[in-house]
Chains A and B, each alone.
Chain A
Amino acid sequence: MPSPYDIFVLVKQVPDQSSKAGINPDGTIDRAKAKRMLNPFDRYALQAALHTKRTYGGRVTAISMGPPLAVEILMEALEHGVDRCVLLSDRRLAASDTLATAYALHKVVRWCGNFDMIFCGLQTTDGDTAQVGPQIAERLGLPQVTYCEDFAIEDGKAKARRIIEGGTQLISSELPLLITVANSYHQLEYKSFRGAWKVQWLQRHPEELSKLVSTVDLDTIGAEPERCGLKGSPTIVAHTDKVGEIGGNCKMYEGQSIPDMVTELIKSTNIKEFVQTK
């Protein structure tokens, strides 16, 4: 039996964009009012981490960075079966860009101790950059597998399949390793009733909960505040523009019978040029 693996998974709470709550009329998001959820991409990372634990043995640590409320997604991770959670929460982290975020997160990872692999979602739905994972790997000096859609351990080495343009790569890597998991990986399994039950029990027993869930700040993890938040971010959002109406003069077909509208559409466009003639 190989020694059990120490598996880290990084998760983030994002606004639920499918819900209309908290979406301002101008399209911006009021994060205080918006519904919150676990970043959908992270569900695949969580599944990869839990599957690795269940298959090869080990312990899963879920790590997140965000406001105190982000503990909600760590509770969700606990329900799904992770073993311990760490939330990095500090006001000085506000307005961090990807580089500053990666700096802070790599510090939490170090603080959490030894690990064999770190799973991350491919990207978040609120940033869409896919940068933080590789940037953490760079800071930790790790090899990485991005766009991973299959993961296994053989003879103490990671075997993974990653998506590339027009195909896939099969790779083998030494551990430790950072993996960003694509949404073609397996869906997150159901949370168990016992998991949900345990979390409800833990929430009534704060002293037990605190053994599994810790909230840390920059001082705890020894991160330099200058390298976090706005100060530590090399980029800023200097300007936002409402996207102008492109086109803007759509010819509308409405209120007539479907066949009439279709006939008119075919008449007034070049659509027929593309229709197969054979």
Chain B
Amino acid sequence: MTASEPEKQAGKTGETLPVHETPRGNVLVIAEQIMGELQPVSLELIGAASILAGKLGTKVLCLIMGYKLGDIPQRLVAHGADTVYVADHPELALYRTLPYRRVVTDLLESMPEPPHVALLGSTTTGRDLAPRIAAHFETGLTADCTELDIGPYEHKSKIDPTKLGLYPDCLYAIRPSFGESLKARILGPWKNPQMATTRPGVMVPLPADPARQGKIIEVPVNLKLEDFRLQVIDVVREVASGLKLTEAEVIIAGGYGMGNAEGFNLLRQLAGCFDHSAIAASRKVVDLGWIPYEHQVGQTGKTVRPKLYIACGISGAIQHRVGMSKSATIIAINKDPDAPVFKFAHHGIVGDVYQVIPELIKQFEKAKQGVESVVHSH
């Protein structure tokens, strides 16, 4: 059922819709640390939360869970949290769904009013925890948002008359719609907290202000026996092979147009020409198994914003675009002049990647030798 039909009916009868003025609640960020290391996405979420709270005229709350958290709460304040709830407990040292879920639900249930909005990172942790919280409170959750905002919404559909009305302060959770060059605004104003997750790298953190004041509140941790059904035996940190994608200055990305897994060797060669470079890939080639998941950029992969992004044989579907469109310079190499990638790249070469990339490498080498020969002449 589409919304347009009831909309017309409402218009015909000229009814005025009830206005649901609810007290404006705070904006909660559930921050994340791994082995005592605060994850950058948490600061980005606080940055986004500050904007939302500013529009609502309310406060930014932040919950951090872990063990021996040190100065993390202060840092969260410095980056914009007004109140930081701290759950510091040995059983929270490593992330586990059930104990973390317990702390979050206990905290929210202890509040006289639930927060207006609750935000988590679209990380393996956030995507594990957020749906459990949303299901527990039977509230809406939108995954992998690329934009967040607060605004009014008129619900005119009469399918459920209890939902009818004007909601002045909804969370606009905006995300690309699947397989399409569309973005959808998803709303759930009927129940608080209105929840959303965003990918690391999407939102912008506030600069740290060490002088900033905020409340830091210890949260009681009351775990139950059933919360220990699952135990973490070990954590294996991968020795970073090469530079992390999200930290690279230059990213060489390959898509289906590379033809096969071996094609990525050519990209690695090109990446070798640059300092601080990394290899990325579109989802399609990750699905095909040409390259591991950690290289995937896009809606279901990582979000990156390097200084230089060279997209090779990537058509430029929306899912990929949302993960890299904020790169400072985007160069696209694609055989198909109609490829969508040329609509948002800054520079586009229409040509076979297997001809263009070797030529690029050749000209870089030549330039390098040029520099050397000048040096030698001294």
Contact = CB atoms under 8 A, between A and B. Distances in A.
Query: Is this pair of chains taken from one and the same complex?
Result: yes
Interface of A: 15, 17-18, 23, 26-29, 40, 94-95, 97-99, 102, 123, 125-135, 137-139, 141, 143-147, 159, 162-174, 177, 182-184, 187, 230-231, 233-243, 245-248, 250-255, 258-259, 261-263, 265-266, 268-272, 274-277
A242 to B, nearest CB: 6
A26 B179 CA distance: 11
Contacts of A252: 337, 342, 348, 350
Contacts of A274: 249-250, 274-277, 307-308
Given A134-B131, A146-B97, 8 more contacts: A17-B179, A139-B135, A144-B132, A234-B190, A243-B183, A250-B348, A252-B342, A262-B349
A133 B138 CA distance: 15
Nearest to B231: A172
Contact of B185 (A182, A240, A248): A240
Contact of B230 (A126, A172, A236, A250): A172
A168 B187 contact: no
B349 A237 contact: no
9 contacts: A128-B299, A131-B134, A134-B97, A146-B124, A166-B34, A167-B236, A168-B236, A234-B138, A250-B345
B73 interface: no
B343 A254 contact: no
Q: Which of A139, A165, A270 has the most B CB atoms < 10 Å from its CB?
A: A165
B363 A269 contact: no
In the A-B complex, the 10 residue pairs with the closest CB atoms: A235-B140, A254-B350, A234-B140, A138-B135, A134-B131, A27-B180, A173-B230, A235-B188, A135-B135, A131-B131
A169 B234 contact: yes
Contact of B132 (A26, A137, A170): A137
Nearest to A227: B138
Contacts of A126: 178-179
Contacts of B111: none
Contact of B143 (A130, A170, A238): A130
B230 A171 contact: yes
A247 B289 CA distance: 31
A233 B3 CA distance: 14
Contacts of B9: none
Contacts of A163: 124, 293
User: For the complex, would chain B's binding face be called helix, strand, loop or mixed by DSSP majority?
Assistant: mixed
Nearest to B337: A254
A258 B363 CA distance: 11
Interface in B141-177: 141-144, 153, 155, 157, 159-160, 173, 176-177
A74 B90 CA distance: 45
A265 B130 contact: no
B249 A263 contact: no
A274 B236 CA distance: 33
B347 A268 contact: yes
Interface in B116-130: 123-125, 127-130
Nearest to B325: A246
Contacts of B108: none
Given A236-B188, A258-B351, A230 B1 contact: yes
A236 B186 CA distance: 6
B182 interface: yes
A253 B348 contact: yes
A89 to B, nearest CB: 18
Contact of B123 (A97, A165, A184): A165
A105 to B, nearest CB: 11
Given A131-B131, A235-B140, A241-B183, A251 B233 contact: no
Contacts of B250: 274
Given A15-B179, A240-B182, A268-B347, A171 B233 contact: yes
B160 A231 contact: yes
Nearest to A142: B229
Given A164-B34, A165-B39, A234-B191, A258 B355 contact: yes
Contacts, number: 295
Contact of B351 (A159, A182, A254): A254
Say what secondary structure dominates the interface of chain A: mixed
Contacts of B173: 235
Interface in B332-355: 332, 337, 342-352, 355
A261 B349 contact: yes
A134 B128 contact: yes
Nearest to A270: B329
Contact of A27 (B34, B182, B233, B351): B182
Contacts of A170: 232-236
B46 interface: no
A235 B155 CA distance: 12
B187 A29 contact: no
Most chain B CB neighbours (cut-off 10 Å) among A94, A145, A252: A252
Contacts of B293: 163, 182-184
Contacts of B58: none
Interface centre among A27, A159, A231, A266 (most CB of B within 10 A): A27
Interface stretch (B12-20, B22-30, B259-267, B364-372): B364-372
A41 B124 CA distance: 16
Contacts of B181: 27, 242-243
A250 B132 contact: no
Nearest to A236: B187
B302 to A, nearest CB: 10
A174 B229 CA distance: 5
Given A183-B293, A234-B190, A250-B347, A272 B179 contact: no
Given A165-B123, A174-B229, A237-B184, A262 B367 contact: no
Interface in B26-60: 34, 39
B131 A135 contact: yes
B124 A165 contact: yes
A236 B174 CA distance: 12
Contacts of B234: 169-170
B360 interface: yes
